[in-house]
Amino acid sequence: MLRGVSPSPLAGTPTSRPWFDAEDPPSRRDLNTCIHCGLCLTACPTYRELKIEPDSPRGRIYLMRGLNEGRIAPTPELVEHLDNCLGCRACETVCPAGVPYGRMLEETRGQLSRRAGGGSSGLMRALGEAALRSLVPDRDRMQVAASLMRLGQRGPIGAFMRSGAAQRLLPAFARRGFAMTPEIAPRRERALEVAARRLPQGARMEERDAALVFIPAGPAQATVGFFTSCVMDVMFPRVNQEAVRLLVLAGCRVEVPRAQTCCGALHAHSGLRREARALARRNAAAFAPEALDFVVTDSAGCGAALHEAGHLLHDDEAADAARSLAARTRDLAQVLAAVGLPEPTATPRSRRDPGRALRIAYHDPCHLAHGQGVRGEPRALLRRIPGAQVVDLPDSDWCCGSAGVYNLTHPAMAESQLQHKLDTVAAVDPELVVASNPGCLLHMARGARERGLAARMVHLVEALALAWPAPGEDTHA
Ligand code: SF4
Ligand code: SF4
């Protein structure tokens, strides 16, 4: 028997009732896909670190299957083993049997959160769930929160947050959250409408009741819906604005529905499945127009969550709309590569040494590489930057440890993954490290700053903008 697993009173009886109830459990068919081959073990960051079976994909599946067969009941240790999982889905990439691990994990966490209180407790869990329920899905409240964060970064509050007193008085997760937060732009600069100032010649923006619409100068090659992502919207607004500009430059008509909301990824990872389903319903309706060839996002985590919408709502009256949303979801790199950017108009110069090639390393965000199988397109786009030398980081698809809010809830494990990632950055010594996911960018940038690395963490869009700048832009890296 695995450590951390208590036998239930029904242990060993073939007619045991599943511990899972009927609301959104992992399916027996999914659970039985695993053939116990163990090929996933060395791909798993927690197994590499902890070297025990219950902290491996195979061990966790065994635990889930035990719950499903009524052989075991949840214990704090069992919940901890499942909570330790980063949800990186590296195990899915190497699995020969096609085990849908990420989906099963989220369904199990949903059951544990709803019926067994989940893993963590206390202030942090209460704050996190309150934010996920009331703040994150509401774009106006997110903007107010961003303005407060901006206030907290400046003046006397900012000075206090950077002081030794704050280091002593504030809980670790608050200090870490503050250290990770990038400089928040003023409210007027965070609006997506700002992109209109930088559109290619002849392109225009129209403000309609249901959507913002960006129209290219010539005939549209594709019509895409743009998913803004709640975190990108407030922490990386310039990336969203530049993503829209590049899509228009590639010849896309870009529609940004006002009714869209958070993708629900953080909710699903945290076991708040009902909330994730409610958000998926809203997004399926917001992006319902079949005139949208693709639904495009520049956030890997959001893209992976939108791809799951069909499964999440498979038994819902919105199932068809959710399946359609999932089928049309694409990462920005896929659409830019497929529709095609024109020839680059600038050769970016290195800031470190203008005489040398700009050295760019690419990090594969888990939810892009493992969750969506997107690896080639971002690299192909980077290789089009004139004069750039594009290198892979060793173990480029190993998780950086960010994993949603995992870096706040499991700082020790997150930190050890981060340090391995930064070791590879230090070994390759690039000027830019590209990652198309806000969590990776925030987590790696904090780590790089604290370690004194010179490499800057940037989104793919920021690297591409060096070669396809808006008129009058500087193209220093
Ligand atoms: S999702 Fe990542 S951390 Fe979790 S079991 Fe799979 S490989 Fe391990
Ligand atoms: S690789 Fe797949 S089939 Fe093999 S043990 Fe891991 S999850 Fe199971």
Is residue 142 domain-shared with residue 68, that is, in the same domain?
no
Residues 192 and 329 in one domain: yes
CA distance 445 to 433: 10
Q: What is the mean pLDDT of residues 197-209?
A: 96
- Ligand 1 atom closest to residue 86's alpha carbon, by position in its atom list: 3
For residue range 151-189, list pLDDT tens digits in order. 988 888 888 888 888 888 888 878 888 888 999 999 999
For ligand 2, say whether the CB of 99 is within 6 Å of any of its atoms: yes
Judgement on whether residues 68 and 158 belong to the same structural domain of the protein: no
- Measured in Å, residue 40 CA sits from the centre of ligand 2 at 6
- Looking at residue 118, its pLDDT comes to 60
CA of 54 to the centre of ligand 1 (A): 11
Is residue 63 within 8 Å of residue 125, measured between CB atoms?
Answer: no
Contacts of 351 (CB under 8 A, 6+ apart): 431, 476, 477
Instruction: Compute the mean pLDDT over every residue in the chain, rounded to the nearest whole number.
Output: 92
Each residue's pLDDT tens digit, 337-386: 999 999 999 999 888 887 788 999 999 999 999 999 999 999 999 999 99
For tokens 């068809």, the residue is 320
Residue 474 lies in a domain: no
The pLDDT confidence band at residue 2, using thresholds 50, 70 and 90, is very low
151, 180, 209 - which closes a domain: 180
Quick check: is 353 in a domain? no
pLDDT at 476: 64
Q: What pTM does this model have?
A: 0.92
Q: Is the pLDDT of residue 1 over 70?
A: no
Q: Which atom of ligand 1 is nearest to the CA of 60?
A: 5
Q: Do 411 and 324 reside in the same domain of the chain?
A: no
In this prediction, residues 436-451 reach a mean pLDDT of 96
How confident is the model at residue 135, as a pLDDT?
92
How many other CB atoms are there within 10 angstroms of residue 6's CB atom?
Answer: 12
Residue 143 domain-assigned (yes or no): yes
* Whether residue 333 sits in one domain with residue 199: yes
Task: Tell me if 420 sits within 8 A of 426, measured CB to CB.
Answer: no
Q: How far is the CA of 276 from the centre of ligand 2 (A)?
A: 27
Task: Please give the residue that has the higher pLDDT: either 309 or 179.
Answer: 309
Question: By percentage, how much of the chain surpasses pLDDT 90?
Answer: 79
* Residue 321 and residue 222 share a domain: yes
Q: Using the predicted structure, report yes or no on whether residue 134 has a pLDDT greater than 70.
A: yes
Indicate if 203 and 334 belong to the same structural domain: yes
Q: In sequence order, what DSSP letters do the residues of 307-321 get, joined into one string?
A: HTHHHHTTTSTTHHH
Report residue 8's pLDDT band, with 50, 70 and 90 as the boundaries.
very low
162 and 196 part of one domain: no
Q: Are 198 and 331 contained in the same domain?
A: yes
> Which residue's CA lies nearest to atom 2 of ligand 1?
88
Q: Is 93 in the pocket of ligand 2 (CB under 6 A)?
A: no
Residue closest via CA to ligand 2's atom 4 equals: 37
* 375 and 454, same domain (yes or no): yes
Q: Identify the CATH number of the domain in which residue 434 sits.
A: 3.40.50
**135, 163, 180: which is the final residue of a domain?**
180
**Does any domain span residue 347?**
no
Report which protein residue has its CA nearest ligand 2's atom 6: 40
In a domain, 257, yes or no: yes
Beta-carbon neighbour count of residue 413 at 10 Å?
Answer: 22
Q: Per the domain annotation, does 351 fall within a domain?
A: no
Segment 190-215 mean pLDDT: 96
Cα Rg of the chain (Å, integer): 22
Residue 13 has pLDDT above 50, yes or no: no
Query: What is the arithmetic mean of pLDDT over 107-128?
Result: 79
Residue 350 lies in a domain: no
- Give the number of domains in the chain: 4
Q: Which of 136, 155, 180 is the C-terminal boundary of a domain? A: 180
403 lines ligand 1 (CB under 6 A): no
Ligand 1 mean position, distance from CA 183 (Å): 32
Query: Nearest Cα to 435, choosing from 468, 404, 393?
Result: 393
Structure tokens at 362: 């690419």
Q: Cα of 43 to ligand 1 centre, how many Å?
A: 8
Please say if the pLDDT value at position 224 is more than 80: yes
Find where tokens 């497929």 sit.
338
Which bound ligand lies closest to the C-alpha atom of 44?
1
Question: Predicted confidence band at 326 (pLDDT cuts at 50, 70, 90)?
Answer: very high
Residue 376 to residue 236: CA distance in whole angstroms: 24
Element (H, E) at 379: helix 376-383
For the chain, percent of residues with pLDDT exceeding 70 = 94
Q: Whole domain around residue 214: which residue ranges? A: 187-339
pLDDT in tens, 78-101: 999 999 999 999 999 999 999 999
State if residue 220 touches ligand 2 by the CB under 6 angstroms criterion: no
Which ligand 1 atom lies nearest to the CA of residue 43? Answer: 7
